[in-house]
């Protein structure tokens, strides 16, 4: 990931905070700050498909986040101090989680459509749609995954031996 050309050229990067069954992103987050890049993480709105990408000030900032009912750390609902990526310069790159992927770039998420809805909003931002890279285990690569018409394909899937 860290040697990937899209990562190297990106300045504003969104990345998920890993759940136990996902690729662990802690080292990538540490490198984002080490390289002087800007790091944004998801804040999901429960009972909706709305998600924002809010800026972290440092890797240590993660310890100040709130644990949700899904066991995900994220900025609290009343946190209005952090920059939302689309209120500023947009994003260059989004690292995406998922449950399954196919080699055509289709992604099976957790069913709420958070990333698809967010990418639709990105397409309306002056900086345009960021490059998307899904981070996966080899076992998550399938022949095909179910897709709906509002699903947005990922640009690339990184997994072991790819």
88 is in an annotated binding site: no
107 is in an annotated binding site: yes
Q: How far apart are CA 102 and CA 114, in angstroms?
A: 19
**Strands (DSSP E) along the chain, which ranges?**
12-14, 38-44, 51-56, 66-67, 73-74, 93-96, 100-102, 107-108, 131-135, 141-142, 156-158
17 is in an annotated binding site: yes
82 is in an annotated binding site: no
114 is in an annotated binding site: yes
In the block, tokens 């689309």 appear at 86
Q: How far apart are CA 80 and CA 12, in angstroms?
A: 19
Please give the DSSP secondary-structure letter assigned to residue 97: -
108 is in an annotated binding site: yes
36 is in an annotated binding site: no
Q: Which of 115, 91, 82 is nearest to 13 (CA)?
A: 91
26 is in an annotated binding site: no
109 is in an annotated binding site: yes
- List, as residue ranges, the binding site for substrate: 17, 22
Binding-site positions for ATP: 107-115
Q: Which residues are annotated as a binding site?
A: 17, 22, 107-115
């Amino acid at each position: 990931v860290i040697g990937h050309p899209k990562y190297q050229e990106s300045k504003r990067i969104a990345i998920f905070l890993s759940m136990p069954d996902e690729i662990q992103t802690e080292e990538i987050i540490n490198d984002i700050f080490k390289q002087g890049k800007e790091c944004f993480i998801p804040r999901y709105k429960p009972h909706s498909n709305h998600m924002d990408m809010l800026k972290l000030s440092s890797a240590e900032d993660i310890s100040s986040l709130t644990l949700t009912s899904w066991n995900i750390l994220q900025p609290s609902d009343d946190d209005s101090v952090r920059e939302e990526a689309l209120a500023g310069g947009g994003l260059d790159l989004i690292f995406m989680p998922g449950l399954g992927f196919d080699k055509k770039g289709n992604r099976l998420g957790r069913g709420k459509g958070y990333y698809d809805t967010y990418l639709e909003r990105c397409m309306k931002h002056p900086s345009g749609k960021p490059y998307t890279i899904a981070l996966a285990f080899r076992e998550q690569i399938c022949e095909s995954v179910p897709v709906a018409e509002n699903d947005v394909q990922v640009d690339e899937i990184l997994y072991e031996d790819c």
